[in-house]
């Protein structure tokens, strides 16, 4: 079977023998009604656990809308027209609305990126800015000791509306909800304190109330005060299939439940070889983001197997601390030892990659230099097809293959491991 995997703005094509292919993980077939902007308008008219937004906000109030930055596939530009109409219907003036891109620990964005993310209408009508971790207001600490320091524009607004797309997150359980606040518009120290809980066994993809990290995020959100959320679940091709709006927890949970019907995948047995991609741009622009697909793939590969990670990574590693840990470590295992001694944001991704390498070989198909890839303990491959051919040479012609073209979305679970 010929398969395609997103690779930056292009694709990698792979021919997999039918006898070896045990599955291609795509979204499950589920009933879908409205989509796109029409679905967003429906969700705003039918909020979950909350009055309509136009009944919450009042004329003269300032509104901060917090949304994702360029590293996320959140289609803010498709949500903003309906959201602005709802705010204007409540009497809120454009000059009182600010769209804040939550950078977390990511780089600053350009004006062109702001325009593309926000959409032409929102960019023309309201203020659009990046969050600034150097200009924050303190709300104290959560019960777990995480400092809640929030970007001033968000903290001082009369109303806060959080946007986001819901997908599986390898230690927060799911993205979306209060994650727009923590880590979206938080300080690096706050993010580091929260993310340090990733080493706990309960901090894993698909876990909510049992997940101490997600609970910490939602406690921080409650301390700041989130008036309303609009979250979306995207198809594999980044189209809005479902929107949820309203209470920051109740609406988020409804979105997570829908995501599970789409993307949870049960396997009878682990595969010898897993081909996995983030699905292309923008989710594979660096290794820091591409790692998310690798972390889902680890649930599907057998011990001693091979994961073929397909991602452009044309911006390099993507985060300074991550780069420092990856490029100075004497061995992959030393990264796991280091995270045990000193949790550091950015280093956590390096340790996560090292934990996968304890179980399986990771071959990387990317735009990175081969020698550099080897220096960070991965095996460079010139193409996905070449990587698969080599994997068969190593594991034998009967090796089983599982394909995950949208690895950051689909969450495999092997029955024997449950």
Domain of 68, CATH number, reads 3.40.50.11440
58 in a structural domain: yes
Give pLDDT, residue 416.
58
Q: Which of 241-250, 346-355, 397-406 has the lowest mean pLDDT?
A: 346-355
Answer with the residue of higher pLDDT: 362 or 283: 362
Q: Please tell me whether residues 242 and 112 are part of one structural domain.
A: yes
Number of domains present in the structure of the chain? 2
289 in a structural domain: yes
Domain that holds residue 109: 36-262
Average pLDDT, the chain: 94
pLDDT tens, 387-410?
A: 999 999 999 999 999 999 999 888
Q: Please tell me whether residues 329 and 192 are part of one structural domain.
A: no
30 in a structural domain: no
C-alpha to C-alpha distance for 2 and 18, rounded to whole angstroms: 9
Q: Please tell me whether residues 228 and 135 are part of one structural domain.
A: yes
41 in a structural domain: yes
Give pLDDT, residue 200.
84
Region 53-79: what's the mean pLDDT?
95
For residue 294, give the H/E element and its range: helix 287-297
pLDDT for 152 beyond 60:
yes
Q: Please tell me whether residues 129 and 218 are part of one structural domain.
A: yes
Contact 396, 268 (CB under 8 A): no
pTM: 0.82
Q: Please tell me whether residues 81 and 164 are part of one structural domain.
A: yes
C-alpha to C-alpha distance for 22 and 16, rounded to whole angstroms: 10
Q: Please tell me whether residues 256 and 270 are part of one structural domain.
A: no
Q: Please tell me whether residues 211 and 331 are part of one structural domain.
A: no
Helix (H, G, I), strand (E, B) or coil at 379: strand
Residue the block writes with tokens 């620990």: 105
Q: Which of 22-26, 213-217, 413-417 has the lowest mean pLDDT?
A: 413-417
C-alpha to C-alpha distance for 58 and 88, rounded to whole angstroms: 10
Q: Which residues in 176-207 are b (16+ Cβ under 10 Å) and which e?
A: bbbbbbbbbbbbbebbbbbbbbbbeeebbbbb
Q: Which of 138-152, 182-196, 223-237 has the lowest mean pLDDT?
A: 182-196
Q: How many helices (H) and strands (E) does the chain have?
A: 15, 20
Q: Please tell me whether residues 122 and 251 are part of one structural domain.
A: yes
Whose CA is closest to 64, among 128, 133, 159, 180?
Answer: 159
pLDDT tens, 322-339?
A: 999 999 999 999 999 998
Pairing of strands 361-365, 379-381: parallel
pLDDT for 342 beyond 90:
no
pLDDT for 128 beyond 90:
yes
Contact 208, 178 (CB under 8 A): no
Region 13-23: what's the mean pLDDT?
97
CA distances for 386 relative to 13, 189, 366, angstroms: 11, 42, 12
417 in a structural domain: no
55 in a structural domain: yes
Give pLDDT, residue 170.
84
Of 218, 242, 262, the position where a domain reaches its end is 262
Of 197, 228, 262, the position where a domain reaches its end is 262
Give pLDDT, residue 192.
84
Give pLDDT, residue 415.
82
Region 183-209: what's the mean pLDDT?
88
Helix (H, G, I), strand (E, B) or coil at 298: coil
Task: Report the C-alpha dihedral over residues 4, 5, 7, 13, rounded to 10 degrees.
Answer: -40
Reply yes or no: is the peptide bond before residue 193 cis, omega within 30 of 0. no
Residues belonging to the chain: 418
Q: How open is the CA angle 18-24-26, to the nearest 5 degrees? A: 155
Name the band, by pLDDT with cuts 50, 70 and 90, for residue 135. very high
Q: Please tell me whether residues 17 and 74 are part of one structural domain.
A: no
CATH number for the domain that contains residue 283: 3.90.226.30
C-alpha to C-alpha distance for 77 and 89, rounded to whole angstroms: 19
Q: Please tell me whether residues 309 and 166 are part of one structural domain.
A: no
Name the band, by pLDDT with cuts 50, 70 and 90, for residue 290. very high
Name the band, by pLDDT with cuts 50, 70 and 90, for residue 418. very low
341 in a structural domain: yes
Q: Please tell me whether residues 219 and 298 are part of one structural domain.
A: no
Q: Say what percent of the chain tops pLDDT 90.
A: 84
Helix (H, G, I), strand (E, B) or coil at 73: coil
Q: Please tell me whether residues 199 and 108 are part of one structural domain.
A: yes
Of 209, 230, 262, the position where a domain reaches its end is 262
C-alpha to C-alpha distance for 59 and 90, rounded to whole angstroms: 7
Give pLDDT, residue 71.
81
Give me the half-sphere count of Cα atoms (radius 13 Å) on the Cβ side of residue 30: 20
Answer with the residue of higher pLDDT: 236 or 125: 125
Pairing of strands 228-234, 240-246: antiparallel
**Mind giving me the DSSP string for 104-147?**
TTSPP--HHHHHHHH-HHHHHHSEEEE--TTSEEEEEE-TTS-E
Give pLDDT, residue 417.
52
Give pLDDT, residue 191.
87
Whose CA is closest to 354, among 388, 329, 390?
Answer: 329
31 in a structural domain: no
Contact 164, 229 (CB under 8 A): yes
């Amino acid at each position: 079977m010929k398969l395609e995997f997103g690779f930056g703005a292009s694709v990698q094509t792979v021919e997999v023998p039918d006898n070896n292919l045990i599955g291609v993980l795509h979204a499950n077939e589920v009933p879908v009604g409205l989509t796109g902007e029409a679905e967003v308008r429906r969700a705003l008219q039918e909020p979950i656990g909350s009055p309509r937004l136009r009944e919450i906000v009042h004329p003269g109030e300032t509104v901060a809308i917090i949304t994702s930055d360029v590293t996320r596939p959140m289609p803010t530009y498709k949500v903003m027209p309906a959201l602005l109409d709802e705010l204007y219907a409540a009497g809120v003036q454009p000059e009182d609305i600010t769209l804040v891109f939550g950078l977390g620990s990511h780089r600053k964005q350009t004006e062109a990126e702001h325009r593309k993310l926000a959409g032409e209408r929102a960019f023309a009508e309201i203020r659009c800015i990046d969050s600034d971790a150097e200009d924050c207001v303190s709300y104290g600490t959560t019960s777990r000791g995480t400092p809640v320091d929030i970007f001033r524009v968000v903290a001082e607004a009369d109303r806060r509306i959080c946007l986001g797309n819901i997908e599986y997150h390898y230690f927060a359980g799911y993205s979306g909800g209060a994650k727009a606040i923590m880590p979206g518009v938080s300080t690096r120290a706050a993010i580091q304190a929260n993310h340090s809980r990733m080493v706990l066994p309960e901090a894993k993809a698909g876990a909510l109330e049992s997940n101490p990290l997600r609970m910490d995020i939602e406690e921080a959100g409650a301390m700041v005060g989130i008036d309303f959320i609009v979250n979306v679940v995207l198809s594999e091709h980044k189209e809005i299939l479902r929107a949820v709006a309203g209470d920051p927890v109740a609406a988020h949970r409804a979105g997570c439940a829908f995501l599970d019907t789409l993307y949870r995948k049960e396997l009878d047995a682990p595969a010898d070889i897993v081909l996995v991609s983030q699905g292309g741009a923008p989710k594979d622009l660096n290794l820091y983001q591409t790692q998310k697909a690798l972390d889902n793939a680890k649930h599907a590969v057998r011990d001693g197997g091979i994961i073929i990670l397909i991602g452009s990574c044309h911006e390099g590693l993507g985060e300074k601390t991550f780069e420092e840990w990856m490029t100075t470590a004497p061995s992959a295992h030393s990264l796991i030892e280091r995270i045990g001694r000193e949790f550091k944001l950015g280093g956590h991704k390096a340790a996560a990659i090292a934990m996968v390498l304890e179980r399986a070989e990771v071959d990387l198909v990317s735009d990175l230099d081969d020698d550099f890839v080897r220096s960070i303990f991965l095996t460079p491959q010139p193409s996905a097809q070449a990587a698969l051919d080599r994997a068969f040479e190593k594991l034998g012609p009967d090796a089983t293959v599982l394909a995950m073209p949208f690895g950051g979305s689909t969450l495999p679970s092997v029955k024997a491991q449950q």
